[in-house]
């Protein structure tokens, strides 16, 4: 299953089974948060949508 990964540095979202080693946007080795939708409100796990409650939040 493809996941949505958000960069902890710049918030860029990339799709893939695993997060990349380096962010394609800011070109840093960042931590990536899985922001895939797992709740019915945004379409569930098979929708391919991003959970809007998680995007943009930084640790």
- Residue 57's pLDDT is what? 52
Rounded mean pLDDT of 18-34?
95
Q: What are phi and psi of 6, to 5 degrees?
A: -110, 130
Helix or strand or coil: residue 29? coil
Q: What is the pLDDT of residues 29-58, one digit of tens each?
A: 999 999 998 878 888 777 888 888 787 655
Q: What are phi and psi of 45, to 5 degrees?
A: -65, -20
- Residue 56's pLDDT is what? 62
CB atoms within 10 A of CB 24: 9
Tokens (6 digits) for 39: 């709740």
Helix or strand or coil: residue 9? coil
Position 28 confidence tier, pLDDT thresholds 50, 70, 90: very high
Global pTM value: 0.76
> Could you identify the residue written with the tokens 């394609």?
24
Tokens (6 digits) for 11: 């918030």
Domain boundaries, the chain: 3-42
- Domain 3-42: which CATH class? mainly beta
């Amino acid at each position: 299953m493809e996941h949505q990964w958000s960069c902890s540095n710049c918030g860029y979202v990339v799709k893939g089974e695993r997060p990349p080693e380096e962010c394609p946007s800011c070109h840093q080795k960042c931590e990536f948060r899985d922001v895939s939708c797992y709740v019915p409100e945004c379409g569930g796990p098979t929708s391919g949508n991003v959970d809007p409650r998680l995007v943009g939040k930084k640790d």
